[in-house]
Chain A
Amino acid sequence: MTDILAAIADIFTSPTMYSSAVRLGGFLAFAALGELVAEKAGTINISVEGSLLAGAFAGAVGYDMTGSTWVGLLFGVVGGLLVGLIQANMSHRLSADQFIVGITANILVVGFVGFLNGVLNPAARRASIIEIPILSNIPLIGPALFGQTWPTYILYPLIPLTWWGLYKTRWGLEVRAVGENPQAADVSGIDVNKRRRQAIYYGAMLAGLGGAFLVVGQVGSFDTGMVGGRGFIAIAAVYFGGWRLKGMLFGALLFGFADAFRLTMPVLGYRLNAHMMAAFPYVLTLIVMYFVTKEFRQPAALSRPFVRGLR
């Protein structure tokens, strides 16, 4: 028993742990940040998973073609957006069920990426680490937050930017109105489905960026299985945060920690069944969702399609 406690203490004081928690949580946060906006508009997009994968692959292709990390990230945004275009237009222009569209889009992306990966086989490299002076000297969290590869830092300004967009702009007000009471928004002169599509585009672009970040900012190579359900965990993070930005970030970080925990253990020489460890983040996500989902008030029209004149 004391061994286990010692081990856990060991892991939690290891700088590696914090560093990888931020990396993995950051990756989730890109996707969750976008999905938060989309859910505020009343949509649930299980196609974030597809956007992440498409973004990752497009990012690798972009890097492979130009050797530029920036181009890779840009390609990632476009790749994610392509999936968002399918999701948004099929579900919120036409009225196909958003879950059906989402799951089908995910399967489509897996097929597409699998196929194209065989053809193009893009190679990528990890971007360089930039340590931010002074801040990165803070023990444990310093290197974790400010000693990362530079694409990580794109996330930081996106957080207040998203908050500002959501709570301080007309667009954000309309997005929130559309997610709470689409009928009311409609009679107030807001094009409900247009706002929903835009919110999904935003979400898909951030997810695509997150995917590209995974490739060029973190792993340094592309693999078809690399996203592996993190998109769904990102959705869980939005739920965990009670549809609030701070809570969502905390959720992304928590799940990032879970991932980091299992990756750090073997590094420090602790052995546990690999499969049990691999399942750990998903199990934790389920458990957390079990306890938090009911506690928060979700956007009232979440996952309800809007057709004018129908309730």
Chain B
Amino acid sequence: MPTHSPDEAPAILELRGMTKRFGSVVACDDVDFVLKRGEIHGILGENGAGKSTLMRMVIGLILPDRGSILIDGKPCQIFDPVEAAKHGIAMVHQHYSLVNALTVWENVALGEEGPVDRAATRDLILSISERYGLEVDPDAHVRDLTAGLRQRVEIIKCLRREPRIIILDEPTAVLTPTESEHLFEVLREGVSKSGWTVALVSHKLNEVTQATDRITIMRDGRVVERVLTRETDAPTLARAMVGRPVALINEAAALGAATSGPVIKTVDRERDVGRDTESRPALEITDASLRAKDGAVLLDGLSLEVYPGEIVGIAGVEGNGQTPLARVLASLLPLEKGTVSVDGATVRTGVAGAMLSAGISVIPADRFHSGCVTEMTVAENLMVACIGKMSRSGVLQPDQVREQALTLIEEFGIHTPSPDTPLAQLSGGNQQRVVLARALCISPRVLVAHQPTRGLDVGAIEYVGDRLRAAAESGIGVLLLTTDLGELASLSHRIKVIYRGSIIGEMRRDELDMERLGLLLGGSQDGESAA
């Protein structure tokens, strides 16, 4: 809980009338925002609400179309992050700001000016590490670090500039609950001891209510509410964020409002225990092992099985083998050891198209990587998985392609001007619907969904959840890989925890214990003891 109330503090950063359009999309529309000295300020909103865009304008990664930035009451213009740093503003990015091939100290030195001084940079890192309890080896290569450690480097990189204002963009996505708690402690300490002011961008209600003093809520590029954290609660925030009362359980869960709440009660009991344990698993993975090119272990003797009609959720902090697992199941990677079988029949790994023809459909976490082809049209994307059906003796049948496209566009509610529109011109949510339609139109035996709702708005999240549930009900075995515990709790019949490439624990939904889950996520075997 917030330690002090900065209600009366002066504004350190003030944004007036910030507006940014991307083509026809208004990302930020006349946004006013005040950050008071010494506060932790939550900026809450769904994906696409404009909160990241707003903060990126503050540090000069995006230039506003209109609006002014005032620091300590003085107007200033910020053209790039270096300029922002001069004003004492720094941002801890969600992804992408570290170079894996460089060492920790080189990464920290990146983006500064003047000559590179290894010794000085190392000393600085060590002193920051010590001061805030952010231990890290300055000479390690970033590629060898875990996701949590990488974030430490991000934070050190940001603190190195001794900023007065620290912006964190969705910082907990890569952290275990324990690590998140540690992060918030560091922030509180920085605020009270070092005079930081913190802006915390998040779409998770629970972390915003836990860690902040004040909250600004954004929706559709506008600020819809400003509240003091101690005067509000999660349901109120959820309503303001979505713009209507949040009734559906999985919706609330998606927002993180109900992770430890009454989720279990919503379980369809019959389904929960209804799977026939005598039947053959739809998907069975045994002892799967895989190493990266540089020798890093990606999968380490991972075994799991998914029965027809159930959703098996795989919980895990990002970077513990989810991506390699999904890629193996999309025929993109071969296993070094172990087997994958569908309905009892072994499928060869790493062979083009083998998984798909065995009946495994994959919704990848990164749709641009292996989900869709942005340069092709909607119709072409929708026929990718079933070219065979769309052709006669090797010649495509345009009428059939169009017909199937129109059917799927309607069935999955894809908003597109026409089937012949290039996919690149659709919104993220609609692109994801195309991926979903593509994955389901072949009537798979197994559906693998990796972070299927990442980057979607609440409506789309709900839709995807419904679809996964419906898929399971129709007898498909669903494997759900996600870092979002709310989503996991509301959708899965069984939850397994993945840690460093293997499954280290399992629980049924009716025995869901968030505390134990949290420990497992951090790698404590069976959640017995905290490290």
Give me the interface of A with B, judged by CB distance under 8 Å: 168-170, 173-174, 176-177, 180-181, 183-190, 297, 299-300, 311
Contacts and interface: CB of A to CB of B under 8 A. Distances in A.
B99 A181 contact: yes
B116 interface: yes
Interface residue SS majority, chain B: loop
B70 interface: no
Nearest to B369: A311
Q: Name the residue among A169, A170, A176, A297 with the largest chain B CB count within 10 angstroms.
A: A170
Interface stretch (B101-109, B270-278, B393-401): B101-109
Interface of B: 60-61, 80-82, 85, 91, 93, 96-102, 106, 109-116, 157, 293-294, 368
A189 B99 contact: no
A180 B111 contact: no
Given A170-B114, A189-B111, A190-B111, A176 B96 contact: no
Contacts of A300: 100-101
A173 B116 contact: yes
Given A169-B116, A297-B101, 16 more contacts: A168-B116, A170-B109, A173-B106, A176-B101, A177-B106, A180-B99, A181-B99, A181-B100, A181-B101, A184-B98, A187-B91, A188-B157, A189-B82, A189-B111, A299-B101, A311-B368
A299 B101 CA distance: 8
Contacts of A168: 116
Contacts of A190: 110-111
Contact of A180 (B82, B101, B368): B101
12 contacts: A173-B116, A176-B101, A177-B99, A177-B110, A184-B96, A184-B99, A186-B61, A187-B61, A187-B93, A188-B81, A189-B85, A299-B101
Contacts of B91: 187
B426 to A, nearest CB: 16
Q: Name the residue among B60, B96, B293, B368 with the largest chain A CB count within 10 angstroms.
A: B96
The 10 closest A-B pairs by CB, nearest first: A188-B111, A189-B81, A183-B96, A189-B82, A181-B99, A180-B101, A189-B111, A187-B97, A188-B110, A180-B99
Interface residue SS majority, chain A: helix
Nearest to B81: A189
A169 to B, nearest CB: 7
A180 B116 contact: no
Contacts of B111: 188-190
Contacts of B116: 168-170, 173
Contact of B98 (A174, A181, A311): A181
Nearest to B157: A188
Q: Name the residue among B110, B112, B115, B157 with the largest chain A CB count within 10 angstroms.
A: B110
Contacts of B109: 170, 173
Contacts of A185: 99, 110
B166 to A, nearest CB: 15
Given A174-B110, A188-B110, A190-B111, A297 B294 contact: yes
B67 to A, nearest CB: 20
Contacts of A189: 60, 80-82, 85, 111
Contacts of A176: 99, 101-102
B399 to A, nearest CB: 34
B89 to A, nearest CB: 12
Given A176-B102, A187-B81, A189-B80, A169 B115 contact: yes
A181 B115 contact: no
Contacts of B97: 183-184, 187-188
A180 B101 CA distance: 7
Q: Name the residue among A168, A177, A190, A311 with the largest chain B CB count within 10 angstroms.
A: A177
A173 B110 contact: yes
A187 B84 CA distance: 12
Contacts of A181: 96, 98-101
Contacts of A169: 115-116
B96 A177 contact: no
A304 to B, nearest CB: 13
A105 B235 CA distance: 62
A221 to B, nearest CB: 44
B518 to A, nearest CB: 30
A187 B293 CA distance: 27
B20 to A, nearest CB: 13
A144 to B, nearest CB: 36
Nearest to A167: B116
